[in-house]
A = this chain, B = another copy of it.
Amino acid sequence: MDGFVATYTNRLDQKGRVSVPAPFRSLLAREGQDGLYCYPALDQPAIDGGGSRLQEAIASRLAVFETFSEEHEILSTAFYGDSRVLKIDQDGRIVLPEEFRTYAGITDTVVFVGQGFKFQIWSPERFEERQKEARTHLRSVTRGLGRNNPGRSAAGDQA
Protein backbone atom coordinates (compact mmCIF):
# COMPACT_ATOMS: atom_id res chain seq x y z
CA MET A 1 0.00 0.00 0.00
CA ASP A 2 1.91 3.00 -1.26
CA GLY A 3 0.62 6.41 -0.58
CA PHE A 4 1.18 9.50 1.51
CA VAL A 5 -0.65 8.91 4.77
CA ALA A 6 -1.07 10.76 8.09
CA THR A 7 -0.24 14.31 9.07
CA TYR A 8 3.01 15.64 10.49
CA THR A 9 3.83 19.00 11.99
CA ASN A 10 7.38 20.29 11.54
CA ARG A 11 9.14 23.55 12.13
CA LEU A 12 10.94 25.83 9.73
CA ASP A 13 14.36 27.03 10.79
CA GLN A 14 15.79 30.47 10.17
CA LYS A 15 16.93 29.51 6.72
CA GLY A 16 13.41 28.50 5.76
CA ARG A 17 14.24 24.82 5.83
CA VAL A 18 11.87 22.14 7.01
CA SER A 19 12.20 18.38 7.28
CA VAL A 20 10.04 16.34 4.97
CA PRO A 21 8.48 13.59 7.11
CA ALA A 22 10.59 10.47 6.86
CA PRO A 23 7.77 8.22 5.60
CA PHE A 24 7.08 10.69 2.80
CA ARG A 25 10.74 10.76 1.92
CA SER A 26 11.01 7.03 1.63
CA LEU A 27 7.92 6.95 -0.56
CA LEU A 28 9.40 9.59 -2.82
CA ALA A 29 12.57 7.57 -3.01
CA ARG A 30 10.58 4.52 -3.96
CA GLU A 31 8.99 6.50 -6.77
CA GLY A 32 12.48 7.16 -8.01
CA GLN A 33 12.52 10.86 -7.31
CA ASP A 34 15.24 12.90 -5.78
CA GLY A 35 13.45 16.22 -5.86
CA LEU A 36 10.06 17.15 -4.50
CA TYR A 37 7.59 18.38 -7.09
CA CYS A 38 5.36 21.18 -5.73
CA TYR A 39 2.88 23.82 -6.82
CA PRO A 40 0.20 26.00 -5.20
CA ALA A 41 -3.01 24.04 -4.66
CA LEU A 42 -5.75 25.28 -6.92
CA ASP A 43 -8.60 25.87 -4.51
CA GLN A 44 -6.90 25.96 -1.16
CA PRO A 45 -4.26 28.09 0.52
CA ALA A 46 -1.84 25.20 0.56
CA ILE A 47 0.97 23.63 -1.45
CA ASP A 48 0.56 20.36 -3.28
CA GLY A 49 3.61 18.12 -3.27
CA GLY A 50 4.54 14.72 -4.55
CA GLY A 51 6.75 12.69 -6.80
CA SER A 52 6.62 11.15 -10.21
CA ARG A 53 3.03 10.02 -9.85
CA LEU A 54 1.95 13.59 -9.29
CA GLN A 55 3.95 14.76 -12.27
CA GLU A 56 2.45 12.12 -14.46
CA ALA A 57 -1.01 13.15 -13.39
CA ILE A 58 -0.29 16.69 -14.49
CA ALA A 59 1.36 15.66 -17.72
CA SER A 60 -1.62 13.50 -18.63
CA ARG A 61 -3.95 16.44 -18.18
CA LEU A 62 -1.93 18.39 -20.69
CA ALA A 63 -1.45 15.50 -23.06
CA VAL A 64 -5.00 15.71 -24.37
CA PHE A 65 -4.30 19.03 -26.01
CA GLU A 66 -2.47 19.59 -29.24
CA THR A 67 1.06 20.86 -28.77
CA PHE A 68 1.33 24.59 -29.51
CA SER A 69 -2.42 25.02 -29.28
CA GLU A 70 -3.57 27.99 -27.27
CA GLU A 71 -5.07 25.70 -24.68
CA HIS A 72 -1.84 23.79 -24.25
CA GLU A 73 0.19 26.96 -24.02
CA ILE A 74 -1.86 28.60 -21.35
CA LEU A 75 -2.30 25.50 -19.24
CA SER A 76 1.37 24.62 -19.32
CA THR A 77 2.13 28.16 -18.21
CA ALA A 78 -0.11 27.75 -15.20
CA PHE A 79 1.01 24.22 -14.38
CA TYR A 80 4.73 24.31 -14.98
CA GLY A 81 5.30 27.99 -14.43
CA ASP A 82 3.97 27.85 -10.90
CA SER A 83 5.62 24.54 -10.11
CA ARG A 84 8.95 24.08 -8.39
CA VAL A 85 11.17 21.09 -7.97
CA LEU A 86 12.52 21.39 -4.46
CA LYS A 87 15.76 19.69 -3.71
CA ILE A 88 15.82 17.45 -0.68
CA ASP A 89 19.12 17.76 1.14
CA GLN A 90 20.85 14.87 2.77
CA ASP A 91 19.17 15.56 6.08
CA GLY A 92 15.80 15.26 4.38
CA ARG A 93 14.97 18.94 4.35
CA ILE A 94 13.62 21.33 1.73
CA VAL A 95 13.59 25.09 1.63
CA LEU A 96 10.13 26.46 1.09
CA PRO A 97 10.32 29.30 -1.47
CA GLU A 98 8.99 32.66 -0.47
CA GLU A 99 6.08 32.50 -2.94
CA PHE A 100 4.86 29.28 -1.44
CA ARG A 101 5.08 30.53 2.13
CA THR A 102 3.14 33.62 1.18
CA TYR A 103 0.51 31.70 -0.71
CA ALA A 104 -0.07 29.29 2.15
CA GLY A 105 0.33 31.82 4.95
CA ILE A 106 3.24 29.89 6.41
CA THR A 107 5.55 31.48 8.95
CA ASP A 108 7.46 29.10 11.22
CA THR A 109 5.52 25.86 11.30
CA VAL A 110 4.01 23.67 8.61
CA VAL A 111 1.69 20.69 8.49
CA PHE A 112 2.21 17.87 6.01
CA VAL A 113 -1.05 16.16 5.13
CA GLY A 114 -0.99 12.86 3.28
CA GLN A 115 -3.49 12.53 0.45
CA GLY A 116 -2.59 9.28 -1.23
CA PHE A 117 -0.67 9.92 -4.42
CA LYS A 118 0.22 13.42 -3.23
CA PHE A 119 0.32 15.42 -0.04
CA GLN A 120 -0.31 19.00 1.00
CA ILE A 121 1.64 21.54 3.01
CA TRP A 122 -0.42 23.87 5.21
CA SER A 123 0.04 26.52 7.80
CA PRO A 124 -1.23 25.08 11.12
CA GLU A 125 -3.85 27.79 11.59
CA ARG A 126 -5.42 27.44 8.21
CA PHE A 127 -5.32 23.70 8.37
CA GLU A 128 -7.11 23.85 11.71
CA GLU A 129 -9.91 25.93 10.22
CA ARG A 130 -10.27 23.61 7.34
CA GLN A 131 -10.40 20.62 9.66
CA LYS A 132 -13.16 22.26 11.63
CA GLU A 133 -15.20 22.76 8.51
CA ALA A 134 -14.53 19.27 7.35
CA ARG A 135 -15.69 17.80 10.65
CA THR A 136 -18.96 19.68 10.76
CA HIS A 137 -19.57 18.81 7.19
CA LEU A 138 -18.82 15.17 7.85
CA ARG A 139 -21.08 15.18 10.89
CA SER A 140 -24.00 16.52 8.92
CA VAL A 141 -23.42 13.91 6.29
CA THR A 142 -23.27 11.02 8.72
CA ARG A 143 -26.31 12.26 10.60
CA GLY A 144 -28.16 12.28 7.35
CA LEU A 145 -27.16 8.72 6.82
CA GLY A 146 -28.48 7.80 10.24
CA ARG A 147 -25.23 6.21 11.31
CA ASN A 148 -23.43 6.32 14.57
CA ASN A 149 -20.67 8.76 14.88
CA PRO A 150 -17.91 6.95 13.07
CA GLY A 151 -15.25 8.76 15.04
CA ARG A 152 -12.58 11.09 13.84
CA SER A 153 -12.66 12.92 10.63
CA ALA A 154 -10.83 11.45 7.74
CA ALA A 155 -7.61 13.37 7.90
CA GLY A 156 -6.43 11.95 11.16
CA ASP A 157 -4.58 13.43 14.04
CA GLN A 158 -1.31 14.86 14.94
CA ALA A 159 1.87 12.85 14.64
Q: Interface on A for B, CB 8 Å cutoff? A: 1, 3-7, 23, 37, 41-44, 52, 54-65, 67-68, 70-71, 73-85, 113-117, 120, 130-131, 133-135, 137-139, 141-142, 150-151, 154, 156-159
Q: Given the known inter-chain contacts A64-B156, A83-B6, please indicate yes or no for A55 contacting B1, CB distance below 8 A.
A: yes
Q: Determine which of B3, B42, B130 lies in contact with A68 in the assembled complex, contact meaning CB atoms within 8 Å.
A: B42
A80 touches B4 (CB 8 A): yes
30 contacts between A and B (CB under 8 A): A1-B52, A6-B85, A42-B68, A42-B142, A54-B159, A58-B159, A59-B116, A60-B67, A61-B67, A61-B68, A61-B157, A64-B150, A64-B157, A65-B156, A67-B117, A74-B133, A74-B137, A75-B134, A75-B138, A75-B141, A77-B113, A78-B131, A78-B135, A78-B138, A80-B115, A81-B113, A81-B131, A81-B134, A82-B135, A83-B114
A58 / chain B contacts, CB cutoff of 8 Å = 159
Q: How many copies make up the complex?
A: 2
B156 touches A81 (CB 8 A): no
